[in-house]
């Protein structure tokens, strides 16, 4: 058994272009599906957030329509309620990468607010990438990659192939027109090669030790790929 670090957003809102705050946090499925997979494989999970704040679930991610019906929505909510690690996060500032076998970043719009500009998280990502340890990032989680800037000013993930929440999906979700910036655009500007799959369909990219997923449906297959790297 080894320890896997979940780096999660501490934000409970996403500031839109007009300055209004859109309530958000992390997306339930993107935490629950990997959590269940990693636990079933015998691994220990440690949650870290900026400042050690308890992460907020995006209430929209608990709705029946995004969970394939009410029965599964209730199941997901039940798993979240049982995730003691969520209620006892460590401070991201205190994390030692050497203590973990792998690192995973779930999404939700929260990372667009805090992890996208968090230098502690950015430094951890640079170190994790260079360490060769399995690193998984899904949906809006790749916003955190924007803060992974090396000493020479270049993004550590420039030249890597990734999957991330796409402009098309943000548009279909209804928030693209209100956003200050779009994730696919910013990653591309940073030199990251975003490979776009079908909207809302599972799409996972593996490039060296980096495993990325495009959307919530990619969470479970991403976890499988990460476990393969730990085997």
Average pLDDT over residues 33-45: 98
Determine the pLDDT at residue 85: 97
Instruction: Report the chain's mean pLDDT, rounded to a whole number.
Output: 98
- C-alpha neighbours within 13 Å on the C-beta side of residue 80: 20
Share of the chain above pLDDT 90, in %: 99
- CB distance 26 to 57 below 8 Å: yes
pLDDT-based confidence at residue 231 (cuts at 50, 70, 90): confident
Q: How far is the C-alpha of 38 from the C-alpha of 231, rounded, in Å? A: 12
pLDDT interval class at 64 (50, 70, 90): very high
pLDDT at 174: 96
Q: Which residues contact 216 (CB under 8 A, 6 or more apart)?
A: 27, 29, 30, 61, 66, 107, 138, 139
Average pLDDT over residues 59-74: 98
Q: Where are the beta strands (DSSP E) in 26-176?
A: 44-49, 90-91, 102-105, 135-138, 161-162
Average pLDDT estimate for 14-33: 98
Q: Is 110 within 8 Å of 21 (Cβ atoms)?
A: no
For 82, the token pair is: 């049982």
> What's the mean pLDDT in 179-205?
98
| pLDDT-based confidence at residue 168 (cuts at 50, 70, 90) | very high
Give the pLDDT mean for 138-156: 97
Q: Could you read off the pLDDT of 10-19 as tens digits, one per residue? A: 999 999 999 9
What is the pTM assigned to this prediction? 0.98
d(CA 32, CA 78): 10
CA 162/CA 223 separation, integer angstroms: 15
Using pLDDT thresholds of 50, 70 and 90, give the confidence band for residue 1: confident
Q: Mean of the pLDDT values across residues 54-62?
A: 98
Per-residue confidence at 65, pLDDT binned at 50, 70, 90? very high
């Amino acid at each position: 058994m080894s320890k896997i670090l979940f780096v999660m957003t501490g934000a409970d809102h996403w500031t839109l272009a007009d300055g209004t705050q859109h309530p958000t946090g992390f997306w339930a499925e993107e935490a629950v599906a990997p959590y269940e997979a990693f636990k079933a494989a015998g691994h220990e999970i440690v949650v870290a957030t900026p400042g050690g704040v308890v992460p907020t679930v995006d209430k929209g991610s608990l709705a029946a329509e995004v969970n394939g019906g009410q029965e599964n929505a209730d199941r997901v909510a039940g798993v979240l309620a049982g995730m003691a690690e969520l209620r006892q996060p460590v401070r991201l500032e205190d994390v030692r990468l050497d203590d973990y076998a792998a690192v995973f970043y779930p999404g939700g719009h929260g990372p667009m607010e805090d992890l996208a500009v968090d230098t502690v998280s950015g430094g951890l990502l640079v170190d994790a990438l260079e360490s060769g340890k399995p690193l998984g990032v899904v949906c809006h989680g790749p916003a955190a990659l924007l803060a992974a800037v090396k000493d020479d000013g270049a993004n550590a993930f420039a030249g890597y192939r990734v999957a991330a929440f796409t402009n098309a999906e943000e548009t279909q979700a209804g928030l693209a027109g209100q956003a200050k910036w779009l994730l696919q655009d910013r990653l591309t500007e940073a030199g990251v090669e975003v490979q776009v799959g079908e909207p809302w369909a599972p799409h996972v990219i593996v490039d060296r030790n980096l495993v990325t997923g495009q959307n919530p449906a990619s969470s479970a297959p991403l976890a499988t790929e990460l476990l393969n790297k730990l085997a």
